[in-house]
């Protein structure tokens, strides 16, 4: 009986620790891409197109490296939304379309925030 309780408590601790670590990782990724959206919005409004193209390409390449690992932890639809926002943003930057860029930056920001909030280790998400 004591062994079963000890095993159950150990497993509970592992699950809680895993949830906390996953939530922290998602928060960091989310914060990084929210900051990316703000940085790119600033570059676009200043019409610094070459720098915006370079910065967007760097963020998109970084995202593509992260996606396989992220898709093991979170919903594919959420990662696909960020992927699509980055693609739309790059296309809008290449077209020098300020309204399109601003819309894509807003989508990227919202989708990146959703990564964290959807998987935050909160009572509402656990239940």
Confidence of residue 126 (pLDDT cuts 50, 70, 90): low
Percent of the residues in the chain that have a pLDDT greater than 70, as a whole number: 91
User: Tell me, what's the pLDDT at 42?
Assistant: 96
**In terms of DSSP H, where are the helices of 2-126?**
2-45, 49-73, 76-94, 98-119, 123-126
User: Tell me, what's the pLDDT at 124?
Assistant: 58
87-112 exposure pattern, b = at least 16 Cβ within 10 A, e = fewer:
ebbbebbeeeeeebbbebbebbbebb
89: tokens are: 């943003």
Whether residue 6 contacts residue 99, with contact meaning beta carbons closer than 8 Å, is answered with no
pLDDT greater at residue 17 or residue 96: 96
Q: What CATH architecture is 2-126? A: Up-down Bundle (1.20)
| Mean pLDDT (the chain, rounded) | 88
Q: What is the pLDDT of residues 43-94, one digit of tens each?
A: 999 999 999 999 999 999 999 999 998 888 777 788 899 999 999 999 999 9
Q: Is the pLDDT of residue 119 over 60?
A: no
């Amino acid at each position: 009986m004591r062994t079963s309780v000890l095993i159950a408590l150990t497993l509970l601790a592992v699950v809680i620790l895993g949830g906390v670590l996953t939530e922290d990782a998602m928060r960091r990724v989310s914060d990084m891409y929210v900051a990316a959206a703000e940085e790119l919005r600033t570059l676009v409004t200043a019409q610094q197109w070459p720098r915006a193209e370079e910065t967007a390409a760097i963020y998109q390449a970084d995202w593509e490296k992260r996606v396989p690992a992220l898709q093991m932890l979170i919903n594919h639809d959420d990662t696909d939304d960020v992927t699509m926002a980055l693609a739309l943003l790059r296309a809008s930057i290449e077209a020098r379309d300020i309204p399109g860029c601003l819309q894509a930056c807003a989508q990227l920001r919202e989708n990146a925030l959703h990564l964290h909030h959807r998987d935050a280790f909160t009572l509402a998400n656990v239940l």
